[in-house]
Structure 1
Amino acid sequence: MAVTGAVLVLFLITHMIGNLKIFFGAESFNDYAHWLRTLGEPAVPYRTVLTLLEAGLVVAIVLHMWSAVSLARRASAARPVKYQAKKKSHAQGYAARTMRYGGVIIAFYVVWHLLDLTFFVVNPLGGDATPYQRMIADFDPSRWYITVWYVVAVLLVGAHLHHGIWSACQTLGLRTPRTERLLRGLSGTIAAVVTLGFVAVPVSITFGWVS
């Protein structure tokens, strides 16, 4: 779970950086989208590398969810009788409580996101528009509810990241009394930067700062 989580964190960071190119204008954003689809040309056909990366990402997501279910079942089997006294801990904090349900909501969001900007099924302009035009149309002020839905999903991703990165550091044996404060700060910083980076784009479009 920690390893697949690390793969997903790296994907989110690179995806966020790509999204931020929208602030450099339509040409920069469209060039980036075109570059993604032509990676490896002419050695390999159009979109081959991107398709392989997407397939690997799907595998990582499926393995991550499978690991979560397996660990939950193992924990339940290891302790079939509940504790008589409940003790609050970091693992029972807000982020931990949202991991399970937030993960389900994030999964639904990923499906919608793919239908919107990869397969163009739910995008207002469809597949004939440029990537920049589709993004602008998606978060048009008249579609404010899409922006709200996006922001809520990203906030859940942030909570998921904060708790997940910290847990992964413990799982991988990186936590020590000396590194604990650093790792807590690192997990919070990464979660905050990724959240702000993803939220900045739809909010800027909805408020007319990018058009």
Structure 2
Amino acid sequence: MVTSTISTERSAKTSSILLKTTMALTGLIFVGFILAHMYGNLMIFGGEDTFNEYAEHLRELGSPTIPHSGVLWVLRVVLLVSLALHAYAAFALWSRASGARQTRYAVRTAMRQVWISRAMRWGGVALLLFVVFHILHFTTNTIQINGDFADPAGRLVSSFEVWWAVLIYTAAVLALGMHLWHGIWAAGMTLGLNTSLAAAERLRIAAVAVAAVTVVGFLTPPWAILVGLVP
């Protein structure tokens, strides 16, 4: 009976490690995509023609060897699979944490850790909903905020001329920044990058830096458009 219990606990621990590793690796994929996406958004400061040329260039990657938009669709599939794995791992770990008996812990979890954990969970859910909204808005043009524009630049500029659209976007980016801050730190811990106090401090600084750059980089275009700095 004792052996069976130990085996079950080891299996559960191994499973949790695999889930955390899955979250870490898929999270790093998202970090790369987010930074590239942020760079692309900043192209709007070069003018609408520059932004549209950049958007078209993405569709022509690998041409003529690869069909039009082929690379873009490969990236979309990778991101969708990563998103599914990331969400599955997150909800599985969330379920396990919620179902654990409180008597198994000798000391109560610090309130700060509880707050961070809840913020990551519900922030992740909010980000997932925003991703759906974002795709329907900018990718498929299903949601039209301020007119129907076929070109990416026109859609971007017209949308962020509406104050409430900028506020929604701002809230989502702030949630993303918080998610990146803790997520990069947690991913580094999971992947064993905190080998010393100095390494742990570098990991913390990297997490803060990526989160800060992402927030500033993503919020600059919409607010610049709203106040009229982008024609």
Q: Distance in 2 between matches of 1:96 and 1:44?
A: 43
Task: Call closer, same or farther: CA 1:169–1:2 in 2, change over 3 Å.
Answer: same
Deviations 1:50-95 (A, max 9, x none): 0111111011111001011122233445x323447524166334x4
Deviations 1:125-158 (A, max 9, x none): 4353x21111111111xx2111000000000000
Q: In the alignment, is residue 182 of structure 1 matched against residue 217 of structure 2?
A: no
Which structure 2 residues correspond to residues 42-121 of structure 1 after superposition, within 5 A?
A: 42-76=64-98, 79-82=100-103, 83=105, 86-88=108-110, 91-93=113-115, 95-121=116-142
- Counterpart position of 1:41: 63
Which SS does the other structure have where 1:60 is aligned? helix
Q: Distance in 2 between matches of 1:63 and 1:125?
A: 35
- Partner amino acid for 1:4? T
Q: Distance in 1 between matches of 2:207 and 2:222?
A: 24
Q: Distance in 2 between matches of 1:25 and 1:67?
A: 41
Which SS does the other structure have where 1:32 is aligned? helix
Answer yes or no: is the 8 Å Cα contact 1:23–1:210 preserved in 2: yes
- Partner amino acid for 1:48? G
TM-score by length of 1: 0.91
- Partner amino acid for 1:161? L
Q: In the alignment, is residue 162 of structure 1 matched against residue 181 of structure 2?
A: yes
Q: In the alignment, is residue 192 of structure 1 matched against residue 215 of structure 2?
A: no
Task: Call closer, same or farther: CA 1:134–1:145 in 2, change over 3 Å.
Answer: same
Q: Distance in 1 between matches of 2:96 and 2:133?
A: 31
Which SS does the other structure have where 2:66 is aligned? coil
Answer yes or no: is the 8 Å Cα contact 2:181–2:208 preserved in 1: yes
TM-score by length of 2: 0.84
Answer yes or no: is the 8 Å Cα contact 2:94–2:121 preserved in 1: no
- Cα offset for 1:26? 1.4
Q: Alpha carbon RMSD of aligned pairs, Å?
A: 1.7
Structure possessing the higher radius of gyration over alpha carbons: 2
Where does the alignment leave 5 or more consecutive residues of structure 1 unmatched? none
Q: May I ask how many residue pairs the two structures share in their alignment?
A: 206
Q: Distance in 2 between matches of 1:188 and 1:158?
A: 9
Q: Distance in 1 between matches of 2:117 and 2:223?
A: 27
- Counterpart position of 2:39: 17
- Cα offset for 1:97? 2.6
Q: In the alignment, is residue 2 of structure 1 matched against residue 17 of structure 2?
A: no
Q: Distance in 1 between matches of 2:41 and 2:159?
A: 14
Of all paired residues, the percent bearing the same amino acid is 38
Which SS does the other structure have where 1:198 is aligned? helix
The 10-residue stretch of structure 1 (81-90 or 13-22) with the greater mean CA deviation from structure 2? 81-90
